């Protein structure tokens, strides 16, 4: 047996371990000094009580022979798929049906697995900086050499530019808006340009909208299917993690429209919805019944309300961070329609220099932007996921130092 040597081509993933190691060293050198974790990429508010009650009831149902349920449909239970189609799409005038929705154990799995659908020779376009899973999953699938970086810099407001005519045609484009790590969003026109590109070049868009619930600006699209033509070119991935506290419970979903058809190497048209169904029923036996019942409770009025409150809570933190950094004279992105705040390292420092500087001077921990790709060098990410009190405390510490 030989291993899949593509694994050995993956970049070392040391970002979060290195952050942890530096925080540990700081604590040891500064006993009694508090570290304020503004680098957290996990949510902190507990699960909504409607979800807990529904999961308790679901567990009780599994204990009675009259209500016991074993294997469910691989694509997810109808009750949840119908709630998603009705609430997240049709109520907003977006044409998506329950047969186009596939429930999973989270967005990360779907993002990692979606590469099963496309040929190893496709050219992959990745915005940089970006969520590392897009790149790593393509490396495992043997496409490391096929990845084209779409640089997102201050000059482009951290938005990817359409490939120019002399560039290779990109076959699969990963887009994530609101973006992690930059907090940037795309307008309707900007997203339309990508849909048009995909249409013109027979490309596929993988749209990661894990943060759509954070969008408050009505002009910013929450789903790629708000864009005309997107049903023919895009797969959308969503998650209950960042809005409803499901990071540990695990549930998300992927939308693969029936109109999404691509050709095989012989030129025959293939439905990606059928292919994904086949993929899921082969390698996946569905998300947990209890978890799907819990996710369904999020579509009740009480569930909607809790999500709104949670998002509002994290957004208040993110806005406060953005305002404070801007007031210090720093260049700041995000913190609007996104729980992430992305700012330029002070005094021309590198990401890691600024990480150390901020930790030493204030006890505030951040995430170095370079950990999300080379284009993130010189930038830092803070998140709105800590408590409001800790966020204000971090801001008071930042206000006490000179940053320009």
Ligand X SMILES: *Cc1c(COP(=O)(O)O)cnc(C)c1O
Chain positions contacting ligand X, by CB under 6 A: 106-108, 131, 176, 180, 208, 210, 239, 241-242, 247, 252
CB of 299 to ligand X, least distance (A): 17
Residue 27's alpha-carbon distances to 22, 23, 31, 40, 365, in angstroms, are 9, 6, 6, 17, 12
For the chain, the C-alpha Rg in angstroms (whole number) is: 22
Which residue's CB is nearer to ligand X, number 176 or number 332?
Answer: 176
Collapse the DSSP code of 2 into the 3-class scheme (helix H, G, I; strand E, B; otherwise coil) and give the result: coil
* Secondary structure letter of residue 34 according to DSSP: P
**Measured distance CA(265)–CA(378) in Å, rounded:** 43
For 25-33, which contacts have Cβ atoms below 8 Å and span 24 or more sequence positions? 26/359, 26/360, 26/363, 30/363, 33/363
CB of 293 to ligand X, least distance (A): 18
CB of 349 to ligand X, least distance (A): 25
Do residues 148 and 181 lie in contact, with contact meaning Cβ atoms separated by under 8 Å?
no
Which residues partner with 176 through β-bridges?
208
Do residues 272 and 261 lie in contact, with contact meaning Cβ atoms separated by under 8 Å?
yes
Which residue's CB is nearer to ligand X, number 247 or number 326?
Answer: 247
Which residue's CB is nearer to ligand X, number 338 or number 365?
Answer: 338
Which residue's CB is nearer to ligand X, number 246 or number 357?
Answer: 246
CB of 103 to ligand X, least distance (A): 11
Residue 140, C-beta contacts closer than 8 angstroms, at least 6 positions apart? 4, 6, 7, 10, 115
CB of 212 to ligand X, least distance (A): 11
CB of 239 to ligand X, least distance (A): 3
CB of 180 to ligand X, least distance (A): 4
Which tokens go with 319?
């806005």
Which residue's CB is nearer to ligand X, number 357 or number 385?
Answer: 385
**Measured distance CA(390)–CA(307) in Å, rounded:** 21
**Measured distance CA(328)–CA(404) in Å, rounded:** 8
Which residue's CB is nearer to ligand X, number 58 or number 107?
Answer: 107
CB of 176 to ligand X, least distance (A): 5
Which residues partner with 207 through β-bridges?
175, 236
CB of 241 to ligand X, least distance (A): 3
**Measured distance CA(99)–CA(17) in Å, rounded:** 41
CB of 32 to ligand X, least distance (A): 34
Which residue's CB is nearer to ligand X, number 105 or number 323?
Answer: 105
Which residue's CB is nearer to ligand X, number 159 or number 261?
Answer: 159
**Measured distance CA(101)–CA(88) in Å, rounded:** 11
Matching residue, tokens 């697995």: 113
Which residue's CB is nearer to ligand X, number 206 or number 403?
Answer: 206
Which residue's CB is nearer to ligand X, number 81 or number 242?
Answer: 242
CB of 279 to ligand X, least distance (A): 17
Which residue's CB is nearer to ligand X, number 210 or number 235?
Answer: 210
**Measured distance CA(106)–CA(74) in Å, rounded:** 14
**Measured distance CA(126)–CA(387) in Å, rounded:** 33
Residue 338, C-beta contacts closer than 8 angstroms, at least 6 positions apart? 178, 179, 183, 184, 185, 211, 214, 318
């Amino acid at each position: 047996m030989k291993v899949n040597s593509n694994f050995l081509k993956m970049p070392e993933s040391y970002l979060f371990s290195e952050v942890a190691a530096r925080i540990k060293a700081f604590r040891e050198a500064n006993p009694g000094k508090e570290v304020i974790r503004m680098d957290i990429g996990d949510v902190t508010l507990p699960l909504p009580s409607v979800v807990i009650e529904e999961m308790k009831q679901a567990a009780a149902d599994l204990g009675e022979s009259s209500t016991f349920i074993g294997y469910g449909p691989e694509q997810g239970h109808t009750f949840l798929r119908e709630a998603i189609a009705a609430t997240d799409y049709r109520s907003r005038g977006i044409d998506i049906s329950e047969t186009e929705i596939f429930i999973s154990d989270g967005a990360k799995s779907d993002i990692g697995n979606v590469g099963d659908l496309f040929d190893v020779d496709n050219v992959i376009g990745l915005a940089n900086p970006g969520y590392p899973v897009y790149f790593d999953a393509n490396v495992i699938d043997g496409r490391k050499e096929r990845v084209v970086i779409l640089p997102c810099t201050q000059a482009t407001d951290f938005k990817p530019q359409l490939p120019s005519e002399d560039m290779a045609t990109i076959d699969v484009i990963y887009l994530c808006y609101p973006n992690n790590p930059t907090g940037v969003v795309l307008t309707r026109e900007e997203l339309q340009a990508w849909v048009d590109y995909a249409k013109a070049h027979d490309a596929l868009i993988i749209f990661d909208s894990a943060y759509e619930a954070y969008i408050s600006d009505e002009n910013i699209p929450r789903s790629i299917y708000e864009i005309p033509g997107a049903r023919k070119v895009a797969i959308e991935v969503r998650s209950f993690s960042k809005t409803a506290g499901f990071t540990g419970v695990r549930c998300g979903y992927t939308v693969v429209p029936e109109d999404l058809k691509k050709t095989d190497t012989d030129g025959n048209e293939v439905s990606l919805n059928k292919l994904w169904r086949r993929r899921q029923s082969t390698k996946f036996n569905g998300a947990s019944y209890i978890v799907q019942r819990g996710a369904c409770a999020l579509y009740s009025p009480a569930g909607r309300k809790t999500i709104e409150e949670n998002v509002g809570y994290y957004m208040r933190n993110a806005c406060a961070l953005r305002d404070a950094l801007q007031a210090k004279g720093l260049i700041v992105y995000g913190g609007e329609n996104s729980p992430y705040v992305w700012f330029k390292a002070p005094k021309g420092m590198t990401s890691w220099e600024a990480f150390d500087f901020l930790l030493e001077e204030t006890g505030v921990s951040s995430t170095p932007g370079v950990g999300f790709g080379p284009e993130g060098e010189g930038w830092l990410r803070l998140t709105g996921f800590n408590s409001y009190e800790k966020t204000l405390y971090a801001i008071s510490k930042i206000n006490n130092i000179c940053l320009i």
